[in-house]
Chains A and B, each alone.
Chain A
């Protein structure tokens, strides 16, 4: 009789543990997904800003066609990219080409004094910072989640539930330059 109770107790504990661990896995996976959607919001924001930026710069430097095409191409590629790694590559391309566009704009004093351009530049810098911070947050969440699904005994639940808790990929993009922004004249 006593043995039966002990077995029953152990079974109940095991079930409780399994439920608890499963819920923790779900919670952590949802967190990585939420963190990813934060990145997505900011990436879209940047896609929306780019046409405005190009239009504004065009008003002063219409002949810099190559730079405009470069940015537009990078934007289209990024919008069509699938998968974390491809997305990261495409975003790096945007950062690079937009940086070039801004550098070109530096050569036009009238453009640099344009209120619209200054506002766009602030938004772009702000959005790039937010992308970087969203990425930092996402990668931290992914690190915690990946560590959890590989750790024993949580890994037992992961194996038992099939492909439900797959490993997540890090989002690796180039860090924006830190330190005071240097204004070149």
Chain B
């Protein structure tokens, strides 16, 4: 467990370092191209880019959890509103010997859950409305136990930084791609001559990001290996001491095919099970690219063998 914590911290620092290098390099390159080879301008570009990515890194460390919670439309709930959920979260926190995380509910019918935060003192657990409606107490404990293990192992720190640093680039790339296709075609008719340079520049940025997207996907996959989901399953069960609870919850999740509105490729790796906007076996290749979770049937099988 302590190795897992150390490894997560190491990976977080490495990721922040790589972001600095990548964004800094990008800034240098762009300034170099725009200023036609002037070294002073390139240096200025490098410094500006480093400042931006430095601020991004600090923000993702300090406020990443809030960003993840708000993009998932998670809402805080009080003990009076959701007594069962609050009791279960507190129980699991006691079992893990950790402070109680903040409790959130995501208004989605698809059953799922995630944890975020930078350390156990600043952590949150969010579950969807569908999960609350579908699961009995024992199953809910299984799910919350799994999330509590992510909190304990500091998976939440790495996961949140990955979501905000790498994920944000992925989202920008997706946005740029869409904008490039639709905006580019619509614009062609009207202003053939005007807006040329600015548009071309943005198009290049979008294209570069889009080309690099599979690389980013690979980064997400490498930093949040499938192994840690199995690990969180077994550690969660160590907390509840009742494997059938989580197994039964996962079975219900596997049988459910409700799409999730807030699913996106930046936060997908944080969820209990890979969320999807278009559920079913035939996922779009783009979504499969970001598939960070082990097959749910394998997870159920392992739990059943415990």
Which residues of A are interface residues toward B (Cβ below 8 A)? 35, 38, 42, 119, 122-123, 125-127, 129-130, 132-134, 136-137, 141, 178-181
Contact at B84–A126, with CB atoms within 8 Å?
yes
Determine if B94 is an interface residue (Cβ-Cβ < 8 Å).
yes
Contact at B137–A137, with CB atoms within 8 Å?
no
Contact at A180–B136, with CB atoms within 8 Å?
yes
Which residues of B are interface residues toward A (Cβ below 8 A)? 83-84, 86-88, 90-92, 94-97, 136-138, 141, 239, 241-242, 244-245
Residues on B with C-beta less than 8 A from A133 are: 91-92, 94-95, 239
In the complex formed, the residue of B with least CB distance to A31 is: B97
Q: A133-B92, A178-B138 are in contact. Are A35 and B87 (CB under 8 A)?
A: no
Bound complex: CA A126 to CA B87 (Å): 5
In the complex formed, the residue of B with least CB distance to A119 is: B83
B-side interface mostly: helix
Residues on A with C-beta less than 8 A from B91 are: 126, 129-130, 132-133
Q: Would you list the 6 A-B pairs with minimal beta carbon distance, nearest first?
A: A126-B87, A133-B95, A133-B94, A129-B91, A130-B91, A133-B91
Question: Nearest-CB distance from A131 to chain B (Å)?
Answer: 9
Question: Nearest-CB distance from A51 to chain B (Å)?
Answer: 19
With A126-B83, A178-B138 already in contact, 6 other A-B pairs whose C-beta atoms are closer than 8 Å: A122-B87, A125-B87, A133-B92, A137-B96, A180-B137, A180-B138
Contact at A137–B95, with CB atoms within 8 Å?
yes
In the complex formed, the residue of A with least CB distance to B96 is: A137
Select which of A130, A132, A134, A178 is within 8 A of B87 by beta carbon. Answer: A130
Residues on A with C-beta less than 8 A from B137 are: 125, 180-181
Select which of B87, B94, B138 is within 8 A of A137 by beta carbon. Answer: B94
In the complex formed, the residue of A with least CB distance to B92 is: A133
Contact at B138–A136, with CB atoms within 8 Å?
no
A-B contact count (CB 8 A): 52
Bound complex: CA A134 to CA B94 (Å): 6
Question: Nearest-CB distance from A45 to chain B (Å)?
Answer: 11
Q: Of B88, B91, B92, B136, which is in contact with the most chain A CB atoms at under 10 Å from its CB?
A: B91
Residues on A with C-beta less than 8 A from B245 are: 178
Contact at A122–B83, with CB atoms within 8 Å?
yes
Q: A178-B138, A180-B138 are in contact. Are A38 and B242 (CB under 8 A)?
A: no
Contact at A136–B87, with CB atoms within 8 Å?
no
Q: Of A42, A126, A137, which is in contact with the most chain B CB atoms at under 10 Å from its CB?
A: A126
Residues on A with C-beta less than 8 A from B95 are: 133-134, 136-137
Residues on A with C-beta less than 8 A from B96 are: 137
Question: Nearest-CB distance from B149 to chain A (Å)?
Answer: 14
Contact at B97–A35, with CB atoms within 8 Å?
yes
Select which of B83, B84, B138, B239 is within 8 A of A179 by beta carbon. Answer: B138
In the complex formed, the residue of B with least CB distance to A42 is: B94
In the complex formed, the residue of A with least CB distance to B244 is: A179
Residues on B with C-beta less than 8 A from A180 are: 136-138
Question: Nearest-CB distance from B89 to chain A (Å)?
Answer: 10
Contacts A/B (CB < 8 Å), 22 sampled: A42-B94, A122-B83, A122-B84, A122-B87, A123-B83, A125-B137, A126-B84, A126-B86, A126-B87, A126-B91, A127-B87, A129-B88, A130-B87, A130-B94, A133-B92, A133-B94, A134-B94, A137-B95, A141-B97, A179-B244, A180-B137, A180-B138
Contact at A126–B88, with CB atoms within 8 Å?
yes
Question: Nearest-CB distance from A111 to chain B (Å)?
Answer: 19
Question: Nearest-CB distance from B138 to chain A (Å)?
Answer: 6
Question: Nearest-CB distance from A163 to chain B (Å)?
Answer: 27
Bound complex: CA A167 to CA B245 (Å): 35
Residues on A with C-beta less than 8 A from B83 are: 119, 122-123, 126
Contact at B94–A38, with CB atoms within 8 Å?
yes
Bound complex: CA A19 to CA B239 (Å): 33
Bound complex: CA A70 to CA B83 (Å): 28
Bound complex: CA A37 to CA B68 (Å): 34
Select which of A35, A42, A136, A179 is within 8 A of B241 by beta carbon. Answer: A136
Bound complex: CA A35 to CA B86 (Å): 20
Contact at B87–A123, with CB atoms within 8 Å?
yes
Bound complex: CA A136 to CA B242 (Å): 13
Question: Nearest-CB distance from B296 to chain A (Å)?
Answer: 21
Bound complex: CA A125 to CA B88 (Å): 10
Contact at B242–A178, with CB atoms within 8 Å?
yes
In the complex formed, the residue of B with least CB distance to A118 is: B83
Question: Nearest-CB distance from B191 to chain A (Å)?
Answer: 64
